[in-house]
Amino acid sequence: MKKIAGFLVDRRYLLLAVLLAFTAVCGLLIPKVAINKDRTEYLADDSNMKQGIAIINSDFPEESEKSSIRVMFDDLTPEDIPEIKARIAAIPNVSSVTYEAANADYNKDNHTLFIVKSAYDYSSDEEKTIEAAIADGFAEYTMAFQNDDIPATEVPLTLILIVFLFGIVVLTLMSHSWLDPVVFLTTIAVAVVINMGTNLCLPHIDELTTAIGPILQFVLSMDYSIILMNRYRQEKARFESKTDAMKAALAGSISSIASSSLTTVAGLLALVFLSFKLGPELGIVLGKGVFVSMLCVFTFLPALILLTDRWLEKTRKKAPAVPMAALAGFSHKVRIVMPAVFVVLLAGSFLLQRTTAISFTEKSEDPLAGVFPKQNIVVVIYENEDKAKLPGIIGELSKDAQISEIVGYTNTLGKELTAAEMSAALGGFAAGQTIDESMVQTLYLAYGYSTGKGVVNAMTIPQLFDYVCDDLMQDEQYADFFNTATKLAVRMGRSAIDASVAQMKGDRYSRLVLTSDYPDESPETYDYIARVKALCEENLGKFYLVGNSVMVSEMNETFEHEYPVITLITALSVFLVVLVAFRNPMLPLLLTLLVQCGVFITVAIYGAYSGTIYYLALLVVQSILMGATIDYGIVFCNFYRDSRKTADVKASLKNAYEGSIHTIMTSGAILVFCLASLGIFATAVMVSEVCMTLFLGVVIALLLILFVLPGLVACSDRAVIR
């Protein structure tokens, strides 16, 4: 360690120059990192839904309408409805407004629903203009609206600044110099920029990773700087030369900082075993960030401390001292019963956390959900050769009262209609003329005669339009019937029909669209998806299901098996890292079980409060708590073992508390206050839930480390110091 420390200090100016140049390059690369907003990109390669999406993208034309907004009015009169619909349709960039007077899905009690669609994507300037026009244009009515987009996960810059302000306040209060926060934050800023710039190596970065990545890197890595600074000040009392003091500080803290960092990295990298690829991305980005922060503490921070040493001394101040004698005495007194207490905590929390349901959809406020919930769309993609089996599937699904609409080629444009049915379907067509049943019957007779099929009693709409356009309109004997306006109307109708057919039927595959009022995620929804899947398996060859609920169902099936494996891998990885650091199996076992107990307690409490826990919040808590807060236990145990060389158990507990409390309280307070502020004030529900869950986990882990760990260490003293 001394040779490494000597090299890092002696070459500090070269390392500083290289790091600053690399940071500048990474800063220029940050805007080039692709930001992903499509969660389907993270589905496993063998996912049925991902394969279905690929077929939709290759075999079917892109949807012309890309965004929809539900608009609900209260207490409208029958006279108001046409006027409201016309006013909404007149808003620039609105492509269509749907309302059905006889449909209960658009009329409930005193509420009236309009579905507004646009050809522009969600969050585009055009779509935002539509929402602004709806919000401002109907002030005389009681109205609410909600777009059907997935909630954004962006964090406003002002909130990020508030989070960092909390961190600065904690650092300033707990530091031994007014300049310490500047030195620490400069080091972390360099690490954050390098991490964000090197994300260019990945195909893209999710919104969530972009939003919380820099903040989590900041709060997870700050204790490395604190450990080195504290050790440097201790060594300065022993050495006349500040460079010699820094060499000794680095040599003495490399092992502690490296083990603390690598436990966090190991915990985060366990996420790469998750099949839903957002977990691996989050683990890689955060793990890389923590590792880069460690390298910056070893290379950038020593040079910065030595450069600013004079000002650090001139700005010295007293840091608050936390008296620990009473807590040390308490831990010593209860050391005999603490193992039993811990076993009860571990077993009880393990059982309780199993009752917490895991959710895979983001909770969001929807003012219309109680009256007109967002429609649940599931698309069944099947091979065209199986079209004869579709009527049975449609008939079976039609029995489900919660399925409001089933649309496919076979039961709409591909369905053969009698003359009466065709007349009803085409009523009002052809420039306002009514196509009555006798006229349709005449067309059927003409079609049968000209094609040699004899008497034709039923045709599909595309067949009829193809015949009229390709045969009748080209026949001179019908020239007087097809005037210019009629020809234009028929051709426009045929184009619209062809476009609709293309959306339903491709060269090899067709799709059936199921619309229901099932929520995106619920036990009933899981049953619904299972029934659709079973029905398709019984009747179809190759088939694919696509939809939000389908993705949730897939994630639920895989996560149930993967999460225990990830938990085991995380615990084992952290155990091995700590084992290498201490070369004693007792301490890694105690620390791993303690922090895992903290995870169980967190999940149990959060589940009791909200009923469910978001799967990403659960993963972040598992990986970060196991990897990061175990650092505090490592710091405490290091001080305890060093003290036991010259003192008894009681005195060593006191020395361990006093030696570690500054690092634990500073880093812990930064984690607690920053995560709490982000969790409370973030408008993005996913960011808020992840941060609040992690905040709760950090608080519980700190309590366990301060009140439970010392008693366990003291009780197993002989094994610990061996």
**Helix (H/G/I), strand (E/B), else coil: 113:** strand
**Helix (H/G/I), strand (E/B), else coil: 190:** helix
Is residue 199 within 8 Å of 205, Cβ to Cβ?
yes
Q: What domains does the chain contain, in order, with CATH numbers?
A: 48-147 (3.30.70.120), 419-504 (no CATH)
Residues 25-41, mean pLDDT to the nearest whole number: 89
Helix axes 180-198, 207-236, angle to 10 degrees: 140
> Please, which residues have CB within 8 angstroms of residue 681's CB and are 6 or more apart in sequence?
159, 162
**Hey, which of 97-111, 206-220, 336-350 has the most confident mean pLDDT?**
336-350
- Backbone φ and ψ of 62, nearest 5°: -65, 140
Rounded to 5°, the CA angle 550-556-558 comes to: 105
Provide the b/e sequence for 427-466 (b: ≥16 CB within 10 Å): eeebeeeebeeebbbebbebbeeeeeeeebeebbbbbbbb
Given a cut of 70, is residue 38 above it in pLDDT?
A: yes
Sign of CA dihedral 321, 325, 326, 331: positive
Token pair recorded at residue 168? 């600065």
**Helix (H/G/I), strand (E/B), else coil: 530:** helix
- Where residue 431 falls (left for φ over 0; alpha for ψ -120 to 50; beta otherwise) is left
3-state secondary structure 359-413: ECCCCCCCCCCCCCCCCEEEEEEEEHHHHHHHHHHHHHHCCCCCEEEEECCCCCC
Query: Over the chain, what is the mean pLDDT?
Result: 87
633-691 pLDDT, tens per residue? 888 888 898 888 889 999 999 999 988 888 888 888 888 888 888 888 887 777 888 88
Token pair recorded at residue 543? 């088939």
Helices (H) and strands (E) in the chain, counts: 27, 13
Q: Who wins on pLDDT, 123 or 513?
A: 513
Q: How far apart are CA 103 and CA 81, in angstroms?
A: 14
Token pair recorded at residue 237? 């009392």
> Please, which residues have CB within 8 angstroms of residue 236's CB and are 6 or more apart in sequence?
242, 245
* Cα-based distances in Å from 16 to 245, 288, 302: 19, 20, 9
Q: How far apart are CA 717 and CA 590, in angstroms?
A: 12
Instruction: Name the pTM for this structure.
Output: 0.81
Of the pLDDT bands very low, low, confident and very high (cuts 50, 70, 90), residue 434 is: low
Residues 467-489, mean pLDDT to the nearest whole number: 76
Q: Strand 357-359 to strand 612-614: parallel, antiparallel, or no bridges (unpaired)? A: parallel
Q: Could you give the maximum distance between any two Cα atoms of the chain, in Å?
A: 115
Strands (E), 552-633: 612-614
Given a cut of 50, is residue 432 above it in pLDDT?
A: no
Q: Which of 504, 523, 518 is nearest to 547 (CA)?
A: 518
Given a cut of 50, is residue 428 above it in pLDDT?
A: no
Q: Strand 111-118 to strand 94-98: parallel, antiparallel, or no bridges (unpaired)? A: antiparallel
- Backbone φ and ψ of 512, nearest 5°: -115, 125
Q: Exposed (0-12), middle (13-18) or buried (19+): which is 190, by Cβ within 10 Å?
A: buried
Given a cut of 80, is residue 286 above it in pLDDT?
A: yes
Q: Exposed (0-12), middle (13-18) or buried (19+): which is 288, by Cβ within 10 Å?
A: buried
Residues 495-501, mean pLDDT to the nearest whole number: 85
Strands (E), 75-217: 94-98, 107-108, 111-118, 143-147, 205-206
Is residue 513 within 8 Å of 377, Cβ to Cβ?
yes
102-121 pLDDT, tens per residue? 788 889 889 999 999 998 88
